[in-house]
A and B are shown apart, each in its own frame.
Chain A
């Protein structure tokens, strides 16, 4: 079976999930078995089929599983957001279509994605500007203490989502040039390779940028995401574990320092460590959200309450979990589908990461290898940051769950990321 036929076949279970999900919610809500769910599944299959045709004609050798895996995640997003709020789901469906258009446009515009390497500094500047935009007075928006959103009139978006792609492109291009230099001149000490101090320069700069983000953007999650992706890239570029060890140590030290000195970071840590403390639970911006998320996940048990069956609102009408459609969507999924459903979502992300790193190993030139690694790593780390935050592994920060969370900029940016991965894959797997 050819790669493209496999991809087409894999889209069928993804669409079936849409139908099953909507059917379950209709029953839960209206006590009726409606064939509208079949229509929704059909529309979803149709949209995916169009994207599949584009891939079939433009990227015939690209990885066959990435797109269906993403379709499954998008299905989770649509079903669970519909279950939270119909109006939001309609928006999300529109954003899904816009995301697919961005996906197709990226494929057509960047047929030879290596031109990106030439514009590395322009891209880096654009990426930094996007990251800092939320702090510009007048258009910046503060959500839950972190500056992540930008609002111009009625349109609001999260520039960091696009910024992450720009930063990864720059780092891949930069490390492709400098990796030779970075491995030269290291000493061995107690069996560990120590890079000379001057080669720690780039590491220090990126570490500084990550710490700056932590304090200035007030977001531990994003800074962990960018710094982690950088470490993954530098490891692949130099094959030296010492960079990763030194980098992690520096990040831990910096994060510890700011957690104990900067007020808002400290608050986050308190909420993370003691979500059930009565004072924090009732406080404004306290641990209400994370504690209720934990309760909701516990309520889900092994197989969950069933799609649409979990309680989302407290009796007086307020939300049981604040921001259920964005930050806390993973808690809602686990409440509805249980541990098994939550693990299914994580397994989907793990398979996407596996496909992404596979693309990196197959790629022939260094820039493609580094770009595929970076894009995969940044997405995988984003999943870790938000799922880890919701499940109280690390302090909660508001990044989106890629392809699942409600939010236009997240969907569009992640579809562009997917398009880049498929472009690299197609180039790497084209038989000579």
Chain B
């Protein structure tokens, strides 16, 4: 019996089965990607997502129990004194369009400072502004964790941190 054709058929059969199997698995992987994160399975606080790694969404849900961190306006041109901004997702302060909290202050840079929640601490960071950021009337050097009641001054605008 001549087995050569069977041998060739088996070779291509092997490859065909392999690739059909891989396609089937890949199809479901693609479906997963299109659907995004499956909400039914996501973590306890996955409704906000910071960063590509999704790591921060997995951090302690304690931050919410303490109370939402807020930035209250003490004096600022163009902003109502006494109003407060929610900081649970962080905020960018500056004069530019991308800023979450727009400062109409001549001494403010377009991207002046950033507030970033890290776990249950809020970190204030100067983004290389021209005139600097002051924390409790001391110039900010490097990122600093904030405590409730801290005063942040940028130019002539003053804010206080609350939580």
Q: Do chains A and B interact in one complex?
A: yes
Interface residues in chain A, defined as those with a beta carbon under 8 Å from any beta carbon in chain B: 6, 10, 13-14, 16-17, 20-21, 23-24, 27-28, 31-33, 65, 68-69, 72, 179-180, 183-188, 196, 235-239, 303-304, 306-307, 309, 337, 340-341, 344, 347-348, 351, 354-355, 358, 361-366, 369, 428-429, 431
Once A13-B17, A351-B26 are accepted as A-B contacts, the answer to whether A188 and B128 lie under 8 Å apart by CB is yes
> Of the candidates A33, A303, A309, A358, which one forms a contact with B12 in the assembled complex, judged by CB atoms under 8 Å apart?
A303
Taking the complex as formed, is B66 at the interface, i.e. its CB lies under 8 A from any CB of chain A? no
CB distance from A114 to the nearest CB of B (A): 14
Distance of A348 Cα from B29 Cα, bound (Å): 12
Q: Are A364 and B7 in contact (CB under 8 A)?
A: no
Taking the complex as formed, is B48 at the interface, i.e. its CB lies under 8 A from any CB of chain A? no
Q: Are A13 and B21 in contact (CB under 8 A)?
A: yes
Q: Are A304 and B10 in contact (CB under 8 A)?
A: no
Q: Are B18 and A364 in contact (CB under 8 A)?
A: no
Q: Which residue of A lies closest to B54 (CB)?
A: A361
Q: Are B41 and A306 in contact (CB under 8 A)?
A: no
Q: Are B22 and A351 in contact (CB under 8 A)?
A: yes
Size category, B interface: 35 or more
Q: Which residue of A lies closest to B30 (CB)?
A: A354
Residues of A within 8 A of B62 (CB): none
Distance of A366 Cα from B56 Cα, bound (Å): 9
Residues of A within 8 A of B123 (CB): 184
Q: Are A72 and B18 in contact (CB under 8 A)?
A: yes
Distance of A186 Cα from B123 Cα, bound (Å): 11
Once A179-B55, A180-B118, A364-B44 are accepted as A-B contacts, the answer to whether A303 and B18 lie under 8 Å apart by CB is no
Once A187-B142, A307-B10, A366-B55 are accepted as A-B contacts, the answer to whether A10 and B41 lie under 8 Å apart by CB is no
Taking the complex as formed, is B106 at the interface, i.e. its CB lies under 8 A from any CB of chain A? no
Q: Are B17 and A31 in contact (CB under 8 A)?
A: no
Q: Which residue of A lies closest to B56 (CB)?
A: A239
Residues of B within 8 A of A239 (CB): 50-53, 55-56
CB distance from A47 to the nearest CB of B (A): 18
Distance of A225 Cα from B119 Cα, bound (Å): 31
> Of the candidates B14, B22, B32, B59, which one forms a contact with A21 in the assembled complex, judged by CB atoms under 8 Å apart?
B14
Q: Are B17 and A16 in contact (CB under 8 A)?
A: yes
Within 8 A of A (CB), among B21-61: 21-22, 24-26, 28-29, 32, 37-38, 40-44, 46, 50-56, 58-59
Q: Are A184 and B145 in contact (CB under 8 A)?
A: yes
Distance of A363 Cα from B58 Cα, bound (Å): 8
> Of the candidates B22, B51, B143, which one forms a contact with A185 in the assembled complex, judged by CB atoms under 8 Å apart?
B143
CB distance from A269 to the nearest CB of B (A): 34
- Listed from nearest, the 6 A-B pairs whose CB atoms lie closest are A364-B43, A239-B51, A24-B10, A13-B21, A306-B11, A20-B14
> Of the candidates B7, B15, B43, B52, which one forms a contact with A337 in the assembled complex, judged by CB atoms under 8 Å apart?
B15
Q: Are B11 and A13 in contact (CB under 8 A)?
A: no
Once A72-B21, A351-B26, A365-B58 are accepted as A-B contacts, the answer to whether A337 and B11 lie under 8 Å apart by CB is yes
Distance of A179 Cα from B50 Cα, bound (Å): 15
Q: Which residue of B lies closest to A64 (CB)?
A: B28
Q: Are B10 and A364 in contact (CB under 8 A)?
A: no
Distance of A163 Cα from B64 Cα, bound (Å): 39
> Of the candidates A10, A236, A355, which one forms a contact with B29 in the assembled complex, judged by CB atoms under 8 Å apart?
A355
Q: Are B10 and A27 in contact (CB under 8 A)?
A: yes
Q: Are A180 and B119 in contact (CB under 8 A)?
A: yes
Residues of B within 8 A of A347 (CB): 22, 26
Q: Are B58 and A24 in contact (CB under 8 A)?
A: no
Distance of A20 Cα from B19 Cα, bound (Å): 14
Residues of B within 8 A of A28 (CB): 7
Residues of A within 8 A of B26 (CB): 347, 351
> Of the candidates B6, B20, B51, B52, which one forms a contact with A27 in the assembled complex, judged by CB atoms under 8 Å apart?
B6
Q: Are A10 and B7 in contact (CB under 8 A)?
A: no
CB distance from B127 to the nearest CB of A (A): 6
